[in-house]
Chains A and B, each alone.
Chain A
Amino acid sequence: MSEKKTRRIWDVPDDENFYYGHTACQGCGGALAMRLALKALGTDVAVTIPACCWTIIAGGFPGHALKVPVFHTAFETAAIVAAGIKGGLEVTGRKSTISLAWAGDGGTFDIGLQALSGAAERGEDIIYAVYDNEAYMNTGIQRSSATPPGAWTTTTPAKRPNPRPKKNLMEIMAAHKVPYAATATPAYPEDLIRKFRKAKEMAGQGLRFIHILAPCPPGWKMASDYSVHSARLAVESRVFPLYEIEDGGRKYTINYWPKGIPIEEYLKIQGRFRHLFKPGGEKWLEAFKEFVEENWNQLVEKHKLTHGTTDNIPRGYYK
């Protein structure tokens, strides 16, 4: 038999540390993100999961779908339980194990923000990843402070959609002077993997934070095969730029210069924004665009402050 030579065209490890038997919906961005994150981190990882969709996704008693230990905890405690686990591993002589907190946006932007702030400020030696599907999905799509302006949720009906801009958690983390904060989405797997690897290499330097946009087909009211597509559109339309904040909040780097496609392309495939395109929806569409533009412009300025130029930002094909 002749040996077939394969040339790797992308840097995504073959190892699967996330198995079948999980219970995520089809096209769950949060499930996809974990699969990629564990490819980057390997198996010397202890995962802490607070109440969120991942409570379910991981699988019910007596089995679970990850090749690493999973410790479930209360909704608002992901950061501190992960820190406690890290401390325990340290004092019992297992220093190499990475402690990963893996929480939803509700458990991070809202109810878990206090514990996250404490852990970030103290420099706890953990990786904290939020898979952000922009609402409380596990309890049936209620608004969180990560819900974007104008979006429908079951607590912000189309007649009175979410009135406020999405909370800028990356800036909150930067203000804590964490050594590393990055955004990622499963639509750019190599980017996501690189960021988790970087976070892993920074072990011992403090809390490393990764904000993942994780499309949720049932919550966003779209077909399940739009999951990766929608995340790509979010990046290309500058709704969710890919960037990193390093050096204790001092160094901003935009990882990819988006094509700047119309925001409508991102919004129109999602039922949660349908009312934006009906009579009376213009003001919400405006609010959404304003929010995106303001964030993007500020981000570009910060990149310039760090690098003196935007010419160094990769353009074109990005994965």
Chain B
Amino acid sequence: MSFKKVTTGNHAVSYAVWSSRVQIISAYPITPQTQIVELLSEIVAEGKLQAKFITVESEHSAMAACIGASATGARAFTATSAQGLALMHEMLHWAAGARLPIVMANVNRAMAPPWSVWTDQNDSLSQLTTGWMQIYNESNQEVYDSVIIGYKVAEQVHLPLMTVLDAFILSHTSEPVEIHTQEEVDEYLPPYDPGEYYTIKTEDPRGYGLLTMPSDYYEFRYKVQRAHERAIEVFKKEFKNFEEVFGRKHWFFEEFMMDDADYVIVTSGSLSSDVKYAVAKLRKEKGLKVGVLKMRVVRPYPFEEVRKVLGDRKKIAVIDRNIGFGYHGVFYEELKSALYPLEKRPPVFGYIIGIGGRDVTPADIEDIIDDMLKRDEMTEIIWKGVRL
């Protein structure tokens, strides 16, 4: 039987990794991620999880260790944040290019300088084009579930997956999380079967990552993209299977009060809770037909699904806890281009908020909705709450 445990986002990751029967864990300390691997090293030391823990000398090596292990057909895990993720960058390309289904938890933390340990999304969004799948989470339950779904999808499409949780707001905050028994998780997630081609075997001495001429390299990249496209279908299947086994629904995004909504706030991560609160309040107090679309899976990007739910709304506001320098908020830009092929498409307004862990309140969200209602034309980037 599953049980409820009041636990932090970090420990929710550790518990999910434990029940996913991960075989190799390699990580390097960085705030606010460290607790994930601290708990895991205890679990491994106590013999509860049959895994090898490699305490490397850098994040670059943590990812490299996972790559080596995964290439032998072992299930591998690491966790990091901000500077650590940036240091891994070269190896993120390697993991995806080598088609290794590594799962990593990244705690969203602002990049230095200046130093900050608080949350924003610039670290993970800087890695969007590496070939990794990415899931964003609002609650510790979502965090827990995303690791288990993550392995299930990653291992079918041979792509790595990053699950993302906000620094402190999720990583260090305790919430009730339904933790499942090993039997239940085993029912959903079988042992990793790498298949014929993805394993180093001395009986079948293949070469991996050989120098490849322009006559062939192109197709390798095409296949990574195809795997992402296939992952959309695999996610759909696995969301359904997950619900059957665990009773919880997941989708590429969550819709909140969307049925008759003319106006939609698109959001992600933990601040979605503030957005939902503000939206519910405005519905109740002013009868405003507003809803929330909380993005979860952003790689692969669920184009069709997003178009279907957003195509015929009146206005959309996208809230970005990140800034794509020299451009706009990343979620804003991606949503605009997703909607572009539609004949009739709503205007989309982009708001930046909460960078570097600046507090976001429901009142801020009400202001944003107010502002959106007043605007007719899409304008320049809108910075909410910046002190000038």
Contact = CB atoms under 8 A, between A and B. Distances in A.
Nearest to A68: B205
Contacts of A86: 68
Given A81-B65, A83-B65, A73 B209 contact: yes
A11 to B, nearest CB: 24
A97 B205 CA distance: 12
- Interface centre among A46, A71, A76, A80, by most chain B C-beta atoms within 10 angstroms, is A80
Nearest to B216: A61
A63 B210 CA distance: 8
Nearest to A124: B54
Interface stretch (B55-63, B229-237, B311-319, B373-381): B55-63
A85 B23 contact: no
Contact of B72 (A56, A73, A88, A118): A88
B202 to A, nearest CB: 5
Given A66-B205, A84-B69, A85-B200, A74 B94 contact: yes
Interface string A62-75: 11101111111110
A71 B57 contact: no
B202 A97 contact: yes
Interface in B82-100: 90-91, 94
Contact of A60 (B61, B90, B94, B210): B210
A286 to B, nearest CB: 39
A58 B50 CA distance: 35
B205 A84 contact: no
B64 interface: yes
Contacts of A76: 60
- Interface centre among B73, B76, B202, B211, by most chain A C-beta atoms within 10 angstroms, is B202
A90 B208 CA distance: 20
B202 A45 contact: yes
Nearest to A84: B68
A1 to B, nearest CB: 36
Given A61-B211, A61-B216, A64-B210, A115 B64 contact: yes
A89 interface: yes
Contacts of A64: 206-207, 210
A263 to B, nearest CB: 38
Given A74-B91, A87-B74, A69 B58 contact: no
Given A71-B68, A73-B67, A88-B71, A80 B56 contact: yes
Contacts, number: 158
Contacts of A69: 200-202, 204-208
Interface residues of B, number: 42
Contacts of B52: 87, 90-91
B70 A88 contact: yes
Nearest to A17: B205
Interface string B193-226: 0000000111011111111110010000000000
Given A80-B64, A84-B68, A92-B73, A118 B56 contact: yes
A114 interface: yes
A88 B207 contact: no
A44 interface: yes
Contacts of B208: 69-72
B202 A44 contact: yes
Contacts of B216: 61-62
B258 to A, nearest CB: 44
B278 interface: no
Given A84-B66, A89-B72, A91-B50, A56 B211 contact: yes
Contacts of B19: none
Contacts of B61: 77, 80, 114-115, 118
A85 B58 contact: no
B205 A114 contact: no
A62 B205 contact: no
A63 B94 contact: no
Interface in A74-125: 74, 76-77, 80-92, 94, 97, 114-115, 117-118, 122
Given A84-B65, A114-B57, A72 B72 contact: no
Interface string B289-314: 00000000000000000000000000
B24 interface: yes
B10 interface: no
A60 B205 contact: no
A81 B382 CA distance: 45
11 contacts: A43-B205, A55-B211, A60-B212, A61-B213, A81-B64, A84-B24, A85-B71, A85-B200, A87-B74, A92-B23, A117-B57
Given A77-B61, A84-B65, A91-B23, 10 more contacts: A60-B210, A62-B216, A69-B206, A71-B71, A73-B64, A74-B94, A84-B69, A91-B24, A92-B74, A118-B57
Which 3 pairs show the lowest CB-CB distances between chains A and B?
Answer: A84-B68, A88-B72, A118-B57
